[in-house]
Amino acid sequence: MTNTIFLQQLVNGVSVGSLYALVAIGYTMVYGILRLINFAHGDLLMVAAYAAIFGMGIFSNSWIAFPLAIIITGCIGILLDRTAYKPLRNAPRISLLISAIGASFLLENLFLVIFGGVPKPFPRPDFFASVIDIGALRIPVLTIYAPIITILLFLGLLYIVYRTKAGKAMRAASRDFETTRLMGINLDRIIALTFLLGSCLAAAGGIMWAMKYPQVNPFMGIFPGIKAFVAAVLGGIGNITGALVGGFLLGLGEIMIVALMPELAQYRDALAFVILILVLLFRPRGIMGETIVE
Amino acid sequence: MLRVDDLHVYYGGIHALKGIHLEVNEGRIVTLIGANGAGKTTAIRAIVGLLKLNAGSIVFRGSNITDLPTHQIIRQGIAVSPEGRHVFQNLSVFENLELGAYNLRTAEFQEQLEWVFSLFPRLQERRVQVAGTLSGGEQQMLAFGRALMSRPKLVLLDEPSLGLAPLVVQEVFRAIEEVNRQGATILLIEQNAMAALTIAHYGYVLETGKVVLEGPGAKLLKDEQVRKAYLGE
């Protein structure tokens, strides 16, 4: 393999990884607070993509449509918590999990009924469509923007979680619901904020995903969702920096394995599951997860 | 200031509180003593809305707080230092105190912070340390200090002496008296009946979910029944 192709794949891997990372962060945040794998989280990618298509149809301006789609998806994330999870706050975790799976099916099939199963093209704005040449490399700008946007959003998230009062309340709630309430903190608001932030990041990921693979259909969120979940487990579920690292590693791993061993190309999607099994077998707490003594 | 009437709570199929009543007057230290399982902690949890009541009413400073959600009860001016301390282990001492003052404005926060640091200088020394690495006594001071950060009118202290060395217990009880002198009303839950009754203006004795005895702290200290059952004589 020539250096050029290697570099090209490296950049690709980082780029795909950054999208996994954006989605993985939402999984890990919700898990950190509710100890719930929010299976409907991947579907928010799809919700964001449809919302963006709609926004573009109305405003034909991505600077309005995309942020709007992110906000709408964030609100749907909150709605998801209110309807599917909040009524089960004191229920056993398994009920919550079943509710999550139900919510995921509901979202997918609701969009299927409304928009039909025929994939919709995604209107990629010029800003993201160009290709730049660096030496012998030809790289779509989206490939470069994706990790940059991811890092910026991640830094913003870190600021909220570590520097603001609400973020500190979030970290407190991830350890102890009751004592958090004893501080006069409205726990439901903190949980809603968690869903809002996680869903907004997933939406940003979903929009970039749709620009990268511009076919939008009601089931498009499933695979990236599952892979992001694997990334979150790989990084150490409950740890947001871990989710970022896990996302990048998974994206890189996927692309590089195919680049180095083209005969494995068909198994690209299987790699995530192999990693999941290996992590669960040998290091269930992931790369950055802590051992929590309960 | 706080008036609890005919409180009934079923907890895990057990009739844990069978109609207890208690009253805490402004400026006082009132203690609730009793053996393990008498329902002391259940009473505290019921007062701040962490447990559902089956019957009864709770009135705080003239307004009925019986069915309010916990965070709203706290915002009325009640603070809790829970049993087992429950400091946020993953946050720093300073962050724990910040959360205690969650509903205060920044200027008020600074003022409270200085006050709490003056009560517990040790917390100031350890302000950047992660709370999980503090000693038991320091964690108790942090839980108490965190409760005081909200400028509470009433502080509920649940077993502040639990598992602490005698010297540290003394320190904590001195702090309780000091906080009370500065105007806060205290409801103190204790197994250490001797220490609690010594500083309390008024006390209630709880047995299997009922108030079996009440009176001024000094009087209860002399009460034969109390001395036998709780002071080991």
Q: Environment class of residue A143 by beta-carbon count within 10 Å: exposed (0-12), middle (13-18) or buried (19+)? A: buried
- Check CB contact of B145 with chain A, cutoff 8 Å: no
Give the chain A residue nearest B83 (alpha carbons).
Answer: A179
Residue A177 CA to chain centroid, in angstroms? 25
Amino acid symbol at A209: W
Residue A184 has its nearest CB partner, among B71, B90, B91, at B71
Name every residue whose Cβ is closer than 8 Å to that of residue A80 and which is 6 or more positions away in sequence.
A38, A40, A103, A195, A199
Sign of the alpha-carbon dihedral angle for A201, A204, A208, A211: positive
Q: What is the pLDDT of residue A291?
A: 57
pLDDT in tens, B144-158: 999 999 999 999 999
CA distance A77 to chain B (A): 24
CA distance A175 to chain B (A): 7
Strand B185-190 versus strand A137-140 pairing type = unpaired
Size of interface A-B (CB pairs under 8 A): 58
B18 vs A208: CA distance, rounded Å: 60
pLDDT in tens, A178-207: 999 999 999 999 999 999 999 999 999 999
Could you give the angle at which helices A240-260 and A141-163 cross, rounded to 10 degrees? Answer: 160
pLDDT in tens, B18-67: 999 999 999 999 999 988 888 899 999 999 999 999 999 999 999 999 99
- Check CB contact of B222 with chain A, cutoff 8 Å: no
- Check CB contact of B157 with chain A, cutoff 8 Å: no
Q: What is the pLDDT of residue A293?
A: 44
Name every residue whose Cβ is closer than 8 Å to that of residue B33 and which is 6 or more positions away in sequence.
B40, B189, B190, B191, B193, B196, B197, B203, B204, B205, B206, B230
Query: In this structure, what token pair is assigned to residue A286?
Result: 């992931």
Residues of B within 8 A of A163 (CB-CB) are: none
A59 vs A54: CA distance, rounded Å: 9
Q: Show the low-confidence residues of chain A (pLDDT under 50).
A: 293-294
Give the chain B residue nearest A183 (alpha carbons).
Answer: B100
In this complex, do B86 and A180 lie within 8 Å of one another by their Cβ atoms?
A: no
Q: Which helix (H) or strand (E) holds B189?
A: strand B185-190
Query: In this structure, what token pair is assigned to residue A59?
Result: 């405003």
Q: What is the pLDDT of residue A4?
A: 84
Q: What is the pLDDT of residue A289?
A: 79
CATH number of A3-282: 1.10.3470
Percentage of chain B exceeding pLDDT 70: 100
Q: Show the low-confidence residues of chain B (pLDDT under 70).
A: 233
CA distance A97 to chain B (A): 25
Q: Which helix (H) or strand (E) holds B3?
A: strand B2-11
Give the chain A residue nearest B70 (alpha carbons).
Answer: A181
In this complex, do A186 and B48 lie within 8 Å of one another by their Cβ atoms?
A: no
Residue B103 has its nearest CB partner, among A168, A182, A184, at A184
Per DSSP, the three-state class of B67 is coil
In this complex, do B88 and A187 lie within 8 Å of one another by their Cβ atoms?
A: no
Query: In this structure, what token pair is assigned to residue B137?
Result: 């006594």
Residues of B within 8 A of A182 (CB-CB) are: 48, 50, 70, 74, 79-80, 82
